[in-house]
Structure 1
Amino acid sequence: MEVSNTKQQHQSASISLTKPVRCIVKLGGAAITCKNELETINEENLKTVSSQLRQSMTTGLNSGEVLGMDWSKQPGESEISSTLSDFEDQPVVDSSPFIVVHGAGSFGHFQASKSGVHKGGLYQPLVKAGFVATRISIASADLSAVAKAIESGLVPVLHGDAVLDDLLDCTILSGDAIISHLAAHLKPEYVVFLTDVLGVYDRPPSDPNAVLLREIAVAKDGSWSIEKPTFQNKNKQVETSVAAHDTTGGMLTKISEAAAIAKLGIDVYIVKAATSHAFKAFSGELKGNLPEDWLGTAIRFSNK
Structure 2
Amino acid sequence: MMQVECIIKLGGSAVTAKDHLETEKLDEIRKFAELLKLQILSERRIILVHGAGSFGHFQAKEYGVAQGYHSNKGDAQNGRAKMGFCKTRVSVTKLNHIIVNEFVSQGVNAVGVSPCGGWVTDHGSVVQSDTASIQNLLVEGYQPVMHGDCVLDRHQGCTILSGDTIIEKLCSVFEPKRVIFLTDIDGVYDKPPSHPDAQLLPVIKVTHDGCLSVPVATTQQAHDVTGGILKKLSTATSIVTESKGFTTVFVCRINSSAASNLITHGELLGELGTEIKMQFREDV
TM-score by length of structure 1 reads 0.74
Question: How much does 1:139 deviate?
Answer: 5.0
Contact 2:64 2:84 in 1 (8 A): no
Equivalent residue number for residue 149 of structure 2: 161
Question: How much does 1:117 deviate?
Answer: 0.4
**Aligned mate of 2:181, from 189, 193, 197:** 193
Residues 156-208 of structure 1: CA distance to partner in whole angstroms, max 9, x if unpaired?
Answer: 11112111223333210111001010101110111101111111111110111
1:46 pairs with 2:29: yes
**Aligned mate of 1:303, from 272, 280, 284:** 280
**Alignment root-mean-square deviation, CA:** 1.9
Q: Which amino acid aligns with 2:221?
A: A
Contact 1:204 1:240 in 2 (8 A): yes
Q: Which amino acid aligns with 2:13?
A: A
Deviates more, 1:133-142 or 1:24-33: 133-142
Q: Which amino acid aligns with 1:188?
A: P
**Aligned mate of 1:175, from 144, 163, 183:** 163
Q: 2 CA distance for matches of 1:139 and 1:207?
A: 38
**Aligned mate of 1:222, from 210, 218, 221:** 210
Q: 1 CA distance for matches of 2:79 and 2:188?
A: 38
Q: Which amino acid aligns with 2:12?
A: G
Question: How much does 1:53 deviate?
Answer: 1.8
Q: 1 CA distance for matches of 2:235 and 2:50?
A: 15
Contact 2:9 2:48 in 1 (8 A): yes
Equivalent residue number for residue 119 of structure 1: 67
Equivalent residue number for residue 211 of structure 1: 199
1:144 pairs with 2:132: yes
Equivalent residue number for residue 82 of structure 2: 128
Q: Which amino acid aligns with 1:241?
A: T
Q: How do residues 1-304 of structure 1 correspond to structure 2 at under 5 angstroms?
A: 16-17=1-2, 20-59=3-42, 95-121=43-69, 124-132=78-86, 136-138=116-118, 141-226=129-214, 237-263=215-241, 264=243, 265-286=246-267, 291=269, 293-304=270-281
Q: Which amino acid aligns with 2:85?
A: F
TM-score by length of structure 2 reads 0.79
Contact 1:31 1:45 in 2 (8 A): yes
**By percentage of residues, which structure has more helix?**
2
| Larger-Rg structure | 1
Residues 67-98 of structure 1: CA distance to partner in whole angstroms, max 9, x if unpaired?
Answer: xxxxxxxxxxxxxxxxxxxxxxxxxxxx1111
Q: 2 CA distance for matches of 1:249 and 1:139?
A: 19
Q: Which amino acid aligns with 1:27?
A: L
Question: How much does 1:50 deviate?
Answer: 1.4
Question: How much does 1:49 deviate?
Answer: 1.2
Q: 2 CA distance for matches of 1:283 and 1:240?
A: 30
Q: What SS is found at the alignment partner of 1:299?
A: strand
**How many corresponding residue pairs?**
238
Q: What stretches of structure 2 of length at least 5 have no aligned partner?
A: 90-113, 121-128
Q: What stretches of structure 1 of length at least 5 have no aligned partner?
A: 1-15, 60-94, 227-236
Q: What SS is found at the alignment partner of 1:132?
A: helix
Q: 2 CA distance for matches of 1:22 and 1:279?
A: 15
Residues 31-82 of structure 1: CA distance to partner in whole angstroms, max 9, x if unpaired?
Answer: 00111100001011111111112223323xxxxxxxxxxxxxxxxxxxxxxx
Q: Which amino acid aligns with 1:216?
A: I
Q: 1 CA distance for matches of 2:181 and 2:249?
A: 8
